């Protein structure tokens, strides 16, 4: 696991080593073990020059895996962030073809595979990665990102220069870069709490989307998708056989993620996914698995007690850490790592569990992807139910709206997002005359698109951007080729919420401490198989993750196997009414926020008052605005061109 960066100059002017070193230094946390720089000045008239930078977190072949790594002639050089899990098998196949190796690293396997197959090497890679390959003979820069989107890759182009980096701050190291804000991206942030790729908060900066690659050569810049998670046709064998096949693939996905030359462990929540990963790890390991859990003083949110059940079942070396409201003190530093606004409040506990885990191991496995792959969120079942209920008379929908209001009012003062709250949101969306995409947005969104005009200050930002922010989500749902409503929503989350929110959260929070996190549920073979399983194997009669529950069987304690979905959140509503109330007010109503005039102060004051007085629950909206203001006062104002704003 590493940090990568680079510069391509079409003018042929040499890439200044100090520029590369500055970019690499911004990524030091991702690779604390070593730094490498490599430049290829223009070879002949009209040729391009390239510089590559690498910060290394040593995991595989500690002595021989240094990067950037070039072939013998120096005509091909690469930098890799991540792991190629099937490098052992690929290496054996290449050796059989007579290919010679200088190291035992997965990086050299990628280099040799590219030498033989070019960009088609992507088809053979099983892993999490973001990499850049400079091919001097073809005068081509080749950038690629893994299928699920575990590893990030940012890029920007201005004039004759193209820059790329693992994190946005690697690009912001360049003081000359245009930092004009992308209005559509800002609108989408307010709606979703994240900015979907390929856009970023800045107009001139882009992100390579998951399962995409990009070539930059004499023919121009070409971004293309190289993989699509298959959805069908569905398997025709029995569900029992499907459970056995799933178990085999899942165990294989865990096994190849145990390849490491450094100590590893696992994140363990009280949920089914991480418990399943730990159970398989324990069966495959010769020594006790090291497990790590975050808890809260507020028992309604803490999963520590449930995690202990799994830890005792498998005799793990278990450690727990407590998160308190003063965790907000680390937010400015965390926001600098994200580089752009990001409003998932579970970034806080993720940051802390990663920090504490890194004190003991260098690699941790986790359960990310299990919900999106196996139907773990209640909203998937709720979406299907809402479609069936569409046949009810309008009077029933009006009654549902009135009931939703009563349920929401009863839940306002509680710390946890109670099932009554979820039922209220479901009924609220169902009572509206809306189709499935509109309902789903109401379930997962922060601000609704129609609310943005009343949020923006007309004397500052003015009206929202021209592009409709909801189109991102609507297009994913409406173009889905899934057979059932549940699968449409699962596929949508796999392409949006998972890579753009959850995987970003884990990558940034873990790599801030130089910790590598691996996700067996996102193995491409497991994904390809599970997507072809009928939806009723995953969700039936309101029971979620049926396939996983059956596959794990007695490997999990009954209390964990039967435990409902809880989610990995913080007591946000309670904290914003209590310990963090004045902290939040100080940020949102600060004189700098008023001078910026992005939002109507009266609207912000109303949201604060209604939440703190228990009139309405605005926990997620207020957190969204708070994270945006923190970003503006740190990242935006700290950069030389921070005042640049695109209207």
- Tell me how far apart the alpha carbons of residues 127 and 79 are, in angstroms, rounded to a whole number: 15
Name the one residue in this structure whose structure tokens are 């998972």: 498
From the CB of residue 333, how many other CB atoms can be counted at a distance below 10 Å?
A: 11
Note whether 68 and 52 are within 8 A (CB).
yes
Angle (CA) 621-623-624 rounded to 5° is 65
- Tell me how far apart the alpha carbons of residues 26 and 170 are, in angstroms, rounded to a whole number: 5
Q: Which one of 2, 26, 121, 533 is the catalytic residue?
A: 2
- Tell me how far apart the alpha carbons of residues 367 and 611 are, in angstroms, rounded to a whole number: 33
The secondary structure of residue 202, as a DSSP letter, is: B
Quick check: is 26 catalytic?
A: no
Please report the beta strands in 330-409, taking only residues with DSSP state E, as ranges in sequence order. Answer: 363-365
Cβ contacts of 394 within 8 Å, gap of 6 or more: none
- Tell me how far apart the alpha carbons of residues 426 and 443 are, in angstroms, rounded to a whole number: 7
Task: Give the CA distances from residue 414 to residues 61, 112, 409, 571, in Å, rounded to whole numbers and listed in that order.
Answer: 51, 57, 10, 9
Tokens of 1: 């696991």
Note whether 202 and 192 are within 8 A (CB).
no
Task: Give the CA distances from residue 425 to residues 343, 431, 440, in Å, rounded to whole numbers and listed in that order.
Answer: 20, 10, 10
Angle (CA) 3-191-374 rounded to 5° is 70
- Given strand 49-56, what is the order of strands in its sheet? 34-40, 49-56, 2-9, 161-165, 154-158, 205-207
Largest CA distance in the chain: 77
- Tell me how far apart the alpha carbons of residues 228 and 86 are, in angstroms, rounded to a whole number: 20
Name the one residue in this structure whose structure tokens are 């021989």: 64
Pairing mode of beta strands 516-518, 220-225: unpaired
Q: Which long-range contacts (CB under 8 A, 24 or more apart) does 576-579 make?
A: 576/611, 576/612, 576/619, 576/622, 576/623, 577/611, 577/612, 577/614, 578/325, 579/325, 579/326
**Dihedral angle of Cα 547, 538, 505, 82, to the nearest 10 degrees:** 50
Note whether 342 and 194 are within 8 A (CB).
yes
| Residues forming the active site | 2
């Amino acid at each position: 696991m590493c940090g990568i960066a680079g510069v391509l100059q079409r003018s042929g002017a040499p890439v200044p080593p100090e520029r590369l070193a500055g970019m690499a230094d911004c990524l030091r946390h991702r690779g604390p073990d070593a730094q490498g720089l490599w430049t290829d000045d223009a070879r002949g008239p009209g040729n391009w020059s390239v510089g590559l930078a690498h910060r290394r977190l040593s995991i595989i072949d500690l002595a021989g895996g240094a990067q950037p790594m070039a072939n013998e002639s120096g005509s091909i050089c690469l930098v890799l962030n991540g792991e190629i899990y099937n490098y052992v098998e690929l290496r054996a196949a290449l050796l059989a073809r007579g290919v010679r190796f200088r190291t035992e690293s997965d990086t050299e396997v990628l280099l040799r595979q590219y030498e033989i197959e070019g960009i088609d090497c992507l088809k053979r890679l099983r892993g999490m990665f973001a990499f850049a390959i400079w091919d001097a003979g073809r005068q081509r820069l080749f950038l690629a990102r893994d299928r699920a989107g575990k590893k990030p890759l940012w890029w920007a182009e201005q004039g004759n220069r193209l820059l790329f980096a693992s994190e946005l701050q690697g690009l912001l190291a360049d003081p000359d870069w245009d930092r004009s804000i992308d209005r559509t991206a800002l609108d989408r942030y307010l709606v979703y709490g994240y900015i979907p790729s390929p856009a970023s908060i800045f107009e001139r900066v882009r992100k390579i989307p998951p399962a995409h690659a990009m070539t930059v050569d004499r023919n121009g810049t070409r971004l293309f998708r190289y993989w699509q998670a298959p959805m069908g046709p569905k398997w025709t064998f029995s569900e029992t056989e499907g459970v056995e096949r799933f178990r085999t693939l899942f165990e294989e996905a865990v096994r190849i993620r145990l390849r490491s030359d450094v100590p590893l462990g696992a994140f363990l929540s009280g949920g089914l996914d991480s418990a399943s990963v730990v159970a398989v790890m324990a069966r495959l390991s010769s020594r006790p698995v090291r497990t790590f859990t975050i808890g809260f003083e507020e028992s309604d949110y803490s999963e520590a007690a449930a995690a202990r059940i799994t830890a005792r079942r498998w005799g793990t070396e278990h450690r727990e850490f407590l998160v308190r409201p003063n965790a907000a003190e680390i937010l400015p530093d965390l926001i600098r790592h994200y580089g752009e606004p990001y409003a998932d409040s579970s970034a806080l506990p993720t940051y802390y569990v990663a920090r504490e885990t890194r004190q003991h191991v260098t690699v941790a496995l986790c359960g990310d992807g299990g919900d999106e792959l196996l139907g773990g969120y209640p909203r998937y079942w709720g979406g299907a139910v809402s479609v069936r209920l569409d046949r009810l008379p309008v009077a029933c929908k009006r009654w549902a709206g009135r009931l939703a209001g009563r349920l929401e009012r009863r839940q306002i003062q509680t710390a946890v997002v109670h099932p009554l709250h979820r039922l209220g949101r479901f009924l609220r969306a169902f009572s509206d005359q809306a189709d499935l995409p509109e309902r789903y947005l109401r379930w997962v969104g922060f601000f609704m698109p129609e609310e943005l005009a009343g949020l923006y200050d007309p004397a500052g930002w003015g009206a929202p951007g021209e592009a409709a922010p909801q189109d991102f989500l609507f297009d994913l749902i409406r173009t889905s080729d899934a057979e059932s409503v549940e699968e449409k929503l699962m596929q949508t989350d796999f392409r949006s919420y998972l890579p753009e929110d959850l995987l970003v959260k884990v990558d940034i929070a873990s790599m801030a401490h130089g910790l590598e996190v691996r996700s067996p549920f996102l193995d491409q073979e497991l994904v390809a198989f599970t997507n072809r399983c009928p939806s009723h194997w995953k969700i039936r009669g309101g029971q979620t993750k049926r396939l996983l529950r059956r596959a794990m069987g007695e490997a999990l304690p009954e209390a964990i196997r039967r435990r409902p979905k809880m989610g990995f959140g913080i007591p946000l509503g309670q904290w914003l009414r209590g310990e963090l109330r004045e902290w939040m007010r100080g940020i949102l109503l600060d004189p700098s926020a008023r001078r910026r005039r992005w939002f109507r102060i009266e609207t912000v004051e109303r949201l604060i008052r209604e939440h703190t007085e228990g009139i309405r629950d605005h926990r997620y909206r207020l957190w969204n605005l708070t994270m945006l203001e923190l970003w503006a006062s740190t990242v935006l104002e700290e950069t030389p061109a921070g005042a640049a704003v695109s209207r």
